Amino acid sequence: MPLRHALTAAAAALLWSVGPAGAQEPWRIAPALESRRTGTLRDRDLRESSGVAASHRDPGVLWSINDSGNPATLFATDTLGRPLAAIAVTGAENVDWEAIATGPCGPAATCLYIADTGDNRERRETVRVYRVAEPAVGSGAPKATARAAGLRLRYPGGARDVEAMFVDRAGAVHLVSKGWDGVVHHYRVPASAWRTSMATAERMDRLPIRVGRRAGRLVTDAAIAPDGERVAVRTYGEVYLFRLSPDGQLRAGPRVACELGALDLLGEGIDWLDGDRLVLTSEAALGAAGTVSVARCAT
């Protein structure tokens, strides 16, 4: 979310009451076991980092994207925020890119998935998810990717603002709404949908995250762990941990959320660096560059 929307989001969160899922149990908020800022995003063209994905091809490489209205570009950095490559995504348009993830896209292939699903006013009748083979970084980095595949989506029940996405081992795309209506909705799009040009996301469940208890408790990203089971869902200031069940639903275990503290001001991105540590990125804010941080939460 750009800075121009951040104050609106915070004000709305302060005014909301607890969402309609009245049976929700409260979460206990606990500090992260470890949290540290590792660097700032030094590429001046990467000002609105709205997601992060740890490379499956090149260990230590992070992929990020800008959000609404920016060029359709993939940015590669390291965990210190140093720029490694900027690669145009062929055949894609950045209406409001809000999440990026790695995931399977064939029997032995890995792709980068990009969620063009941002919709602050929840008016978009359809949104898009793109996927493209993960490009090389370094001396072999291309100026542009191969042509991206695009899938148009709609949600049952109408438009949603979605800034969180992860891709499971079966290649299904999972999308989590931001929570503007007081409810955090979880949707799934099966891998088979890529054989079509248009799909309706399947409504899976409502996540027991109490939006509106304090400013900034809005969902900004999600990521699945290397084990294919643990899923981290982040807000601006916290991380909620779930397990992905065999039927595709997200189940909360012990309800202990991980508090991120002052790691970032406009924290948007999250992914797993390994089976234990999370990497987080933020947008630039108040004249300061976006940040890269590493955290470890009790799992």
Q: What per-residue confidence (pLDDT) applies to 253?
A: 82
Q: What per-residue confidence (pLDDT) applies to 2?
A: 53
Instruction: Kindly tell me if the per-residue pLDDT of 19 is higher than 70.
Output: no
Higher pLDDT, 141 or 15: 141
pLDDT tens, position by position, 180-219: 999 999 999 999 999 998 999 999 999 999 886 455 789 9
Task: Determine the CATH number of domain 3-296.
Answer: 2.120.10
Tokens matching residue 194: 């890529």
Higher pLDDT, 210 or 114: 114
- The whole-chain average pLDDT of the chain stands at 89
Tokens matching residue 16: 């909301």
Asked if 36 and 283 touch (Cβ cutoff 8 Å), the reply is no
Q: What per-residue confidence (pLDDT) applies to 211?
A: 85
Q: For strand 238-244 and strand 256-259, is the pairing parallel, antiparallel, or unpaired?
A: antiparallel
pLDDT tens, position by position, 274-296: 999 999 999 998 888 999 999 99
Q: What per-residue confidence (pLDDT) applies to 16?
A: 34
Q: What is the mean pLDDT of residues 60-79?
A: 96
Asked if 211 and 21 touch (Cβ cutoff 8 Å), the reply is no
- What pTM was computed for the model? 0.91
Q: What per-residue confidence (pLDDT) applies to 25?
A: 61
User: What is the SS3 string spanning 210-227?
Assistant: CCCCCCCCCEEEEEECCC
Q: How confident is the model at residue 24 (pLDDT cuts 50, 70, 90)?
A: low
Q: What is the mean pLDDT of residues 140-151?
A: 93
Q: What per-residue confidence (pLDDT) applies to 3?
A: 41
Q: How confident is the model at residue 265 (pLDDT cuts 50, 70, 90)?
A: confident
Centre a 10 Å sphere on the Cβ of residue 46 and count the other Cβ atoms it contains: 24
- Residues with Cβ within 8 Å of 85's Cβ and at least 6 positions away in sequence, in order, are 74, 75, 76, 135, 137, 138, 141
Q: What per-residue confidence (pLDDT) applies to 5?
A: 47
Half-sphere exposure at residue 8, Cβ-oriented, CA atoms within 13 angstroms = 8
Sequence ranges of the domains in the chain: 3-296
- Residues with Cβ within 8 Å of 18's Cβ and at least 6 positions away in sequence, in order, are 24, 182, 210, 212, 213
Q: What is the mean pLDDT of residues 104-124?
A: 94
pLDDT tens, position by position, 214-247: 557 899 999 999 999 999 999 999 999 999 999 9
Instruction: Kindly tell me if the per-residue pLDDT of 141 is higher than 90.
Output: no
